[in-house]
């Protein structure tokens, strides 16, 4: 027995030594690289929704204060085979690419408002949907002002498109297909129709994000299922009315208690400019408890927090962030993360939660 153990131990040592020696050679590195590339670059596109299903994928859940684990504000709606993006915060397109989302299927972008943390990646989305095979101009819907934003991005990225068509050819990247086209959604009352196509109804909802006026949320209805996205807003009763009966309410959330602490720390550290910002931003966002109250009023089945402010680096910070929420809303609450994916099969009450991370 002792002899057998000695032989096994010697074999293990020899194997480890052989593996260590092999790791010193570049051909082995390249073999490992090929294996990793097959797993990642070689993976098929993800199917976000089955036929008849409405899904929502959080492609960015960060607010402006940087969080290395979260991209800027972004949600992807999948209605059967059709994809729509709500906001394109910084880093969100990279998330979509890492997750193998078929970008050429994105039929439109809906902007809630034009704060930089919601539009930063529009140029990247314009490019990457085109490279992936988009062959129609990409429509960008939003409040008045969308014409300026779209015109600016088209101009800023025009040279980039010229280079790529010259490099890869008109057949692969037809220059005339690259551009974005604006579609203003006029708003006179509390809500306005934004789109009605292939069974998907999108409604723009006025929200309260002054001095940003107007700012919108969006409600998506498809096959008897619904998702409402708040956009950036202070707690706003008409949003609950417009979101009434939604299966999922994706609502922004900011802990003013934690933002105040951050402001005090910054002031003590002699950083008056960000300290003032921490003070100013408390008026036009919604606390997690207030978002829970809105979700209850809307009778939403699942509330998902997004646009998380401030960043939450630990589980303890996450616990502090949602403090008091369970008293208002004991169930049906989810702290959203990049990669959170929720499926709503058509004409049912099922809510399936999963994650791409």
Q: Report, as residue numbers or ranges, the catalytic residues.
A: 117
Nearer to Zn ion, 103 or 253 (CB): 253
Nearer to Zn ion, 54 or 304 (CB): 304
Contact pattern from residue 222 through residue 261 relative to Zn ion, giving x for each residue in contact according to CB under 5 A and a dash for the rest: ----------x-----------------------------
Contact pattern from residue 283 through residue 322 relative to Zn ion, giving x for each residue in contact according to CB under 5 A and a dash for the rest: ----------------------------------------
- Minimum Å gap between C-beta 309 and Zn ion is 8
| Residues 60 and 43: beta-carbon distance below 8 Å | no
Q: What CA–CA distance (Å, rounded) separates 314 from 144?
A: 39
Laid out side by side, the sheet with 200-209 consists of 191-197, 200-209, 212-222, 225-229, 248-254, 302-309, 333-335
- Minimum Å gap between C-beta 230 and Zn ion is 11
How is the chain split among helix, strand and coil, in percent rounded to 5? 40, 25, 35
- Minimum Å gap between C-beta 77 and Zn ion is 18
Q: Judged by CB under 5 A, which stretch of 6-14, 116-124, 148-156, 273-281 contacts Zn ion?
A: 116-124
- Minimum Å gap between C-beta 340 and Zn ion is 18
Among 87, 117, 293, 338, binds Zn ion (CB under 5 A): 117
Q: Is the dihedral of CA 33, 34, 39, 41 positive or negative?
A: positive
- Minimum Å gap between C-beta 307 and Zn ion is 6
115 is a contact residue toward Zn ion (CB under 5 A) = yes
Q: Judged by CB under 5 A, which stretch of 5-13, 115-123, 196-204, 259-267 contacts Zn ion?
A: 115-123
Interacting positions 76-95 with Zn ion (CB under 5 A): none
- Minimum Å gap between C-beta 275 and Zn ion is 19
The strand ranges marked E within the chain are 54-60, 74-79, 82-86, 106-110, 138-142, 180-184, 191-197, 200-209, 212-222, 225-229, 248-254, 302-309, 333-335, 340-344, 352-355
Nearer to Zn ion, 40 or 213 (CB): 213
Nearer to Zn ion, 232 or 338 (CB): 232
What's the burial of 255, exposed, middle or buried (CB within 10 Å: 0-12/13-18/19+)? buried
Nearer to Zn ion, 111 or 130 (CB): 111
Nearer to Zn ion, 79 or 335 (CB): 335
Q: What CA–CA distance (Å, rounded) separates 89 from 141?
A: 15
CA contacts within 13 A on the Cβ side of 357:
13
Q: Token digits for 178?
A: 């690259």
Residue owning tokens 């129609």: 136
- Phi–psi pair at 111, nearest 5 degrees: -95, 135
307 Cβ neighbours under 8 A, 6+ residues apart: 61, 62, 63, 73, 232, 252, 253, 254, 285
Contact pattern from residue 174 through residue 213 relative to Zn ion, giving x for each residue in contact according to CB under 5 A and a dash for the rest: ----------------------------------------
- Minimum Å gap between C-beta 244 and Zn ion is 24
For Zn ion (CB under 5 A), the number of binding residues is: 3
Residue 70's nearest CA partner among 101, 92, 97, 100 is 92
> Interface with Zn ion by CB under 5 A: which residues?
115, 117, 232
């Amino acid at each position: 027995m002792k002899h057998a153990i000695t032989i096994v131990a010697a074999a293990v040592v020899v194997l480890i030594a052989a593996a260590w020696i092999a790791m010193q050679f570049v051909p082995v590195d390249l073999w490992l690289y090929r294996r990793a590339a097959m797993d990642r670059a070689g993976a098929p596109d993800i199917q976000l929704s089955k036929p008849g299903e409405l899904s929502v994928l959080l492609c960015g859940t960060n607010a402006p204060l940087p969080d290395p684990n979260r991209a800027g504000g972004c949600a992807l709606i999948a209605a059967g085979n059709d994809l729509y993006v709500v906001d394109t915060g910084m880093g969100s397109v990279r998330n979509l690419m890492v997750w193998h989302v078929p970008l050429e299927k994105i039929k439109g972008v809906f902007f809630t408002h034009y704060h930089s943390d919601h539009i930063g990646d529009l140029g990247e989305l314009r490019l990457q949907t085109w490279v992936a095979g988009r062959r129609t101009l990409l429509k960008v819907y939003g409040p008045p002002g969308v014409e300026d934003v779209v015109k600016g991005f088209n101009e800023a990225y025009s040279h980039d498109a010229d280079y790529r068509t010259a490099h890869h050819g008109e057949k692969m990247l037809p220059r005339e297909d690259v551009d974005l086209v604006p579609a203003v959604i006029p708003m006179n009352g509390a809500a306005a129709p934004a789109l009605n196509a292939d069974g998907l109804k999108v409604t723009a909802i006025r929200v309260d994000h002054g001095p940003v006026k107007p700012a919108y949320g969006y409600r998506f209805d498809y096959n008897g299922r619904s998702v409402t996205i708040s956009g950036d807003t202070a707690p706003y009763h008409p949003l609950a009315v417009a979101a009434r009966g939604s299966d999922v309410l994706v609502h922004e959330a900011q802990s003013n208690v934690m933002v105040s602490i951050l402001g005090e720390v910054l002031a003590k550290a002699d950083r008056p400019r960000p300290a003032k910002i921490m003070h100013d931003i408390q008026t036009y966002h919604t606390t997690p408890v207030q978002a829970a109250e809105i979700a209850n009023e809307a009778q939403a089945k699942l509330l998902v927090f997004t646009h998380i402010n401030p960043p939450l680096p630990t589980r303890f910070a996450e616990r502090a962030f949602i403090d008091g929420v369970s008293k208002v809303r004991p169930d049906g609450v989810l702290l959203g993360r990049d990669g959170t994916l929720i499926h709503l099969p058509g004409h049912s009450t099922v809510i399936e939660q999963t994650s791409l991370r």
